[in-house]
Amino acid sequence: DRAPYPGTRRTATTTLTLDVSDGDDLGPMFLPCVLVNNTQDCNPITYRVAIPELTDP
């Protein structure tokens, strides 16, 4: 909430549950993988999604 006066600001919390389908039966892969300091570890990857509001399923 970006109300200009703190007394009129409101907040809300929600829980979102996602079901992820395994569509290819391959092992977990995180692409692209950028190795961290010559190790076998990948930099953390951030996934983003946009969920439109008020849309029909």
3-state SS string for the chain: CCCCCHHHCCCCCCCCCCCCCCCCCCCCCCCCCCECCCCCCECCCCCCCCCCCCCCC
Q: Where are the domains of the chain?
A: 26-52
36 neighbors 42 (Cβ within 8 angstroms): yes
> What digits encode the pLDDT tens for the residues 3-56?
788 888 888 888 878 777 777 776 666 667 778 888 888 877 677 777 777 666
CA distances to 11, 19, 20 from 5, rounded to whole Å, are: 14, 39, 41
Per-residue pLDDT, 26: 67
